[in-house]
Every structure is written in C-alpha cells, then in structure tokens.
A and B are shown apart, each in its own frame.
Chain A
Amino acid sequence: MWLIAWREGRALLATPLLWLTAAVSQFLLAWYFLVLLDRYQLHYLPKLTSANSALGVTDLVVVPFMGGMPLLVLLLMVCAVLGMGLIAEERRRGSLPLLLSAPVRSLTIVLGKYAAGTAAAMALVTLWWLMPASLAVFTGVDPLRLLLGLGGLYLLSALFMAVTLLASTVAHNAATAAAGAFAAGVFLLMFSRTSGRPGGVLDALSATGHLQPLLQGRLSSADVAYFVLASAVLVALAALRMQRLRSGP
C-alpha cells in the first residue's frame, strides 16, 4: 500500500496541478481571511469592547474561517481536482493494467491511492490552517478549538477524497470523476440546510452538521465516527469496483 501511495504522491508532486491548486486556494483563502479580520477589527471589536462581551477572535474570525462555505467549497474542489485522476487517469493513459496485473489486492491499490490523495489534501488544509493559527502570536486564541478545527477539516478532507476516489473508479475520465465528486460533496455540505427540521436523517448524513461541533470545541465520538465510517464505506465501495474491473462479480 505504501509503495503505491509513495508513487502516487510523487506523481502529484511532479505535476503542476498540486502546486497550482495550492497557490490559488491559498491566495483565495488569504483574501477571505483578511476580509474576516478586517470585519472583526472595524465592525465587531468596538461593539464587543463597549458591551464587554466574552466573544473574541476565535468566535468571530477563526471559526467562521474554518467552518465557512468559502473554505469548505474550496476544500471540496481541491479534493475533486487532486483525486479525480487517481484511477480514471490511469485508465485513460493505459497504465492501470500495471496495477491490475500485479500481485496486490484491490483494497491495497485503492488504499494506497487514497492515502496519497488524502495526504496531499491534508497538507493544503494545514497551510490554510496556519493563517488563523498565526493569530495566536498576536492575540489570545482558544488552542483546543483551533486544533479540533484542524482535526475536523482533516476528517472532512478524508471524506471528500473518499467520495472522489469512488467517482474516479466509476468514471472513465478524470473530468467526469471530478464533476461527480463535486456534486456528491455539495450534497454532503448542503444536507443540513435542506432538511427542514433539525435532527432528521439528512442532518445525520450532513458533513457540515458533524463538523460544526468540532469547530465549537466539542469532541464527540459520534461526529468522528461519522467521518471515519462514511470514508471507510466509500473506500470499500471503490475497492469493490476495482475488484470488478479485474475479476468480475
């Protein structure tokens, strides 16, 4: 598995796709972060001081940044772009037979590719996270919420990458895989906003619904289990699909 992950990781590093994605996403999120920071300084800070409120930069900059739709949608796009070619591109280029004819299990192939894609997405998330984390140098930031937020974003990137991996095993080209993964990811993000009343089935399936408690500093095994289980199911489905490609039903 690690051999496949190592090769996939090197392939990602060798293409401009990763670097371009990193640069563009970092620029866009830096701009978003500065908007939040400006708004806090110019709009919220005077009111908080006069009202003697307990709210601070963690509530009004760090959490809105890490849980805001710009970052979440960008994360989904990054995962779709980095993961779209994991299997579909190999199939298009004709290099998939190398893996399929090798003495390795389908699950091993899928896990290796998944590990590389997820590691790349997590590396970008870490770069994004450094922006709110840097506030700790200048002001008081709740370190627990900062770390739980990072953990939540790691789990979310693992989930999005699993969605993309499955799409990549099903689709015959990378663009279709990316489009499919993006559509599925948007549903995962939007479930909680479309379900009407809280506590329904759609809420339970919503990724944002399980991310918010972590951003609020509440570590719940149910939320972590949601991400782990959902990712595991999607990776298992991708492995089954891969098995069908080489050995039939």
Chain B
Amino acid sequence: MTALLKVRDLRRRFDRRLAVDGLSFELERGAILGLLGPNGAGKTTTLRMIAGVLPATGGSVELLGERLDHRRPGLKRHLGYLPDTPPLHDAMRVADYLRYCARLRGVPRTRCRQRVDDVMEQCDLTTVARRLIGNLSRGFRQRVGLAQAVVHEPALVMLDEPTLGLDPLQVQALRSLIEGLRQDHGIILSSHLLSEVQRLCDRVLILNEGRGVYTGDLRGSGDDGYRLALREAQPPEALSALPGVARVVPEGIGGYRLWLTDGTDGDCVLSAVVERGWGVREWQVAAPTLEALFVEHVHKDEPCG
C-alpha cells in the first residue's frame, strides 16, 4: 500500500541551530501518528514544514506519492492544518469563515454550502454558525480551527497541540471529534500530553532535539512480563517455583513482576497461583506506559556528562 505521507531526511536550521535534523517517517491513511517531544524538540517546526508554512533547509515531503513543493501548490488541497494558534479571522462569522476556507482549498462552489453544513454538524458548531469568531470561547475557537482543517476533506490532517488551554470537558469533546476523523483521514497529532497521545494514536514518533529517537508502537517492542499483586505476600522463591515462571522481581508489598518461559500461557500460571490460595488482587500484562517509553528514549538520547 502506498503511504499517504512520506517524509525523508527533513531538516531545518535556524541560524546555527538545527531545529529538525534528518527526520524521516511515513503515515498511512486511517492512522493517527502522535508526535511527542519535550519543548523545543521540533514538533511544531516539523508540522510547519510539511504544511508549507515554513521552508525546509533540506529533505523532501511526499503526499499521495507526489513531492510537495511550491511548483505544485494544488497538492496542498489534500492537506489540512491546525497550527498551535488557530488561523481565525475574528471579524468573520463562523459559517462565512468556513465557506471561505472551503473555497480557498478548492471545494467547488456547488458543494461548498453542503460541506460547511456537514463539518459544522460534525464539529458541533451549528449553534454558533452566525456568531462572530472573535466572540467565541476558546473551546469553540479550537473547534472552528479543527473544522477549517477538515472542511475540504483532505487526505492528511495535521493538528498541533489541538487541546492546549481547553478545560477537561472541552478536551474530551475535541478528542472524540479527532477519533471520529480517523476513518477518512491520516492524522498527525502533535502534543506534549502523553495521555492524549496514548488515547488517540496508533503509533508514536518521539522527537528530541530535532531528531526522531523512537518511531513505532505506543507500547514499545520489549517483553515486559506480567504484573501480579497478592493479598498475602509470598517470598519470590515461591513464585519462581511455579511451573513456567522464568524470573520474578518484587515490586512493593505483595507486588511482583513475572517473566514466563517461552510458550507458557499466562492463564496457566494464574491458575497455579489461585490454587495455592494466595489471594490474587491483580494479574495483568505489564505493558510499559508511554511515559516510560518517552523518558527512556528522551533520556537515552541526552548527551552524558
């Protein structure tokens, strides 16, 4: 399957500092890629370069198999972008603004009204359609920003910190909205909120000092065993003696991390524990958190001493 977006060796230099240094990644339609990184890691710069808002110092961006550059502005029709500050015109009414955005991105005049109505319904903006954007609350402004990014049904949607400054209810509503967009679009979501990325994204790209330090599954690739919590604490040797248990590491009072031998079914080990009457409080696959993944890769990438 052809990738929706291919970024190759993307670079951006500000004076003597490399803000983005040889970044490469791909994105398929229907996937949400989380762009994570500490402040100044190059997330916003990367999105701005892909959107054509900031010139790249080097590298290439391919959208739908064609290279994005200023000679092909028409290709940007397939791209929707919500910057960290929504690009709104305060003196315009919501519906007029979205109509303007749709026409600007090449939606035919005949389809324009229908598309704007659809996107306003999708983003729950119908009630504020006739209101001036300058008079809207931050949550609604963010929704209008999101609506302008998808009103022309682009193949790729890029969202830069879409939930920044919103209250928890607004965050929840906006996340549901983004999840709803997944079916028809490839989405890049830049955020420094790990919980947001964890909840919304399929894959993550962690940036640190302009370089991609991890690309892949949110859970990492290592075997992190099982987490077991017992009502009655047992010596680790007792657990090691169970059939199929390769290694045991105590974690707090009554808590253990168990690694099993190859081919052992976790349910069998759980049955053995239950049979011994130790009182199982918790038994789950011990997946590393995104936070652990983030800390591991960002910390590992820092120069020593």
Q: Nearest Cβ distance between residue A126 and chain B, in whole angstroms?
A: 24
- Select one of B69, B75, B148 contacting A103, CB under 8 A: B75
Q: How many angstroms from the CA of A11 to the CA of B93 in the assembled complex?
A: 11
Q: Which residue of A lies closest to B69 (CB)?
A: A247
- Select one of A97, A102, A247 contacting B70, CB under 8 A: A247
Whether a CB of chain A sits under 8 angstroms from the CB of B88 is yes
Whether a CB of chain A sits under 8 angstroms from the CB of B77 is yes
Q: Main secondary structure on chain B at its contact with chain A? A: loop
Q: Mark A91-119, 1 if CB is under 8 A from B, else 0.
A: 00111111111111110000000000000
Whether a CB of chain B sits under 8 angstroms from the CB of A218 is no
- Name the A residues within 8 Å of B101 (CB-CB): 98
Q: Mark B215-248, 1 if CB is under 8 A from A, else 0.
A: 0000000000000000000000000000000000
Q: Nearest Cβ distance between residue B260 and chain A, in whole angstroms?
A: 50
- Name the B residues within 8 Å of A247 (CB-CB): 52, 55, 69-70
Q: How many angstroms from the CA of A93 to the CA of B83 in the assembled complex?
A: 12
Q: Is B87 a contact partner of A246 (Cβ separation < 8 A)? A: no
Q: Mark B60-96, 1 if CB is under 8 A from A, else 0.
A: 0000000001100111110101010111111110000
- Name the A residues within 8 Å of B53 (CB-CB): 96-97, 100-101, 246
Q: Is A243 a contact partner of B70 (Cβ separation < 8 A)? A: yes
Q: Mark B16-52, 1 if CB is under 8 A from A, else 0.
A: 0000000000000000000000000000000010011
Q: Main secondary structure on chain A at its contact with chain B? A: helix
* Interface residue total, chain A, C-beta cutoff 8 A: 28
Query: At the interface with chain A, which of B103-111, B117-125, B287-295?
Result: B103-111
Q: Nearest Cβ distance between residue A16 and chain B, in whole angstroms?
A: 11
Q: How many angstroms from the CA of A106 to the CA of B79 in the assembled complex?
A: 17
Q: How many angstroms from the CA of A99 to the CA of B100 in the assembled complex?
A: 11
Q: How many angstroms from the CA of A93 to the CA of B52 in the assembled complex?
A: 18
Whether a CB of chain A sits under 8 angstroms from the CB of B171 is no
- Name the B residues within 8 Å of A248 (CB-CB): 55-57
Q: Is B55 a contact partner of A101 (Cβ separation < 8 A)? A: no
Q: Mark A229-249, 1 if CB is under 8 A from B, else 0.
A: 000000000000001111111
Q: Is B81 a contact partner of A101 (Cβ separation < 8 A)? A: yes
Q: Is B70 a contact partner of A106 (Cβ separation < 8 A)? A: yes
Q: Is B89 a contact partner of A97 (Cβ separation < 8 A)? A: no
Whether a CB of chain B sits under 8 angstroms from the CB of A3 is yes
Q: Which residue of B lies closest to A14 (CB)?
A: B91
Q: Is A97 a contact partner of B83 (Cβ separation < 8 A)? A: yes
- Name the B residues within 8 Å of A100 (CB-CB): 51-53
Q: How many angstroms from the CA of A5 to the CA of B80 in the assembled complex?
A: 22
Q: Mark A18-50, 1 if CB is under 8 A from B, else 0.
A: 000000000000000000000000000000000
Whether a CB of chain B sits under 8 angstroms from the CB of A193 is no
- Select one of B54, B90, B148 contacting A98, CB under 8 A: B148
Q: How many angstroms from the CA of A96 to the CA of B148 in the assembled complex?
A: 14
Q: How many angstroms from the CA of A247 to the CA of B48 in the assembled complex?
A: 11
Known A-B contacts A244-B55, A246-B70, A247-B52; A96 and B76 likewise in contact (beta carbons under 8 Å): no
Q: Is A97 a contact partner of B73 (Cβ separation < 8 A)? A: no
Q: Nearest Cβ distance between residue A213 and chain B, in whole angstroms?
A: 41
Whether a CB of chain B sits under 8 angstroms from the CB of A134 is no
Q: Is B91 a contact partner of A246 (Cβ separation < 8 A)? A: no
Q: Nearest Cβ distance between residue B75 and chain A, in whole angstroms?
A: 7
Q: How many angstroms from the CA of A2 to the CA of B5 in the assembled complex?
A: 31
Q: How many angstroms from the CA of A95 to the CA of B53 in the assembled complex?
A: 11
Q: Is B73 a contact partner of A96 (Cβ separation < 8 A)? A: no
Known A-B contacts A3-B103, A101-B53, A246-B53; A94 and B87 likewise in contact (beta carbons under 8 Å): yes
- Select one of A3, A7, A14, A101 contacting B52, CB under 8 A: A101
Q: Mark B134-152, 1 if CB is under 8 A from A, else 0.
A: 0000000000000010000
Q: Which residue of B lies closest to A108 (CB)?
A: B73
- Name the A residues within 8 Å of B73 (CB-CB): 102-105
Q: Nearest Cβ distance between residue B115 and chain A, in whole angstroms?
A: 15
- Name the B residues within 8 Å of A249 (CB-CB): 55
Q: How many angstroms from the CA of A227 to the CA of B117 in the assembled complex?
A: 45
Q: Nearest Cβ distance between residue A110 and chain B, in whole angstroms?
A: 13
6 cross-chain CB contacts under 8 A: A101-B79, A102-B104, A103-B74, A105-B73, A247-B69, A248-B55
Q: Which 9 A-B pairs have the closest CB atoms?
A: A248-B55, A98-B87, A247-B70, A94-B85, A103-B76, A14-B91, A95-B87, A101-B51, A103-B77
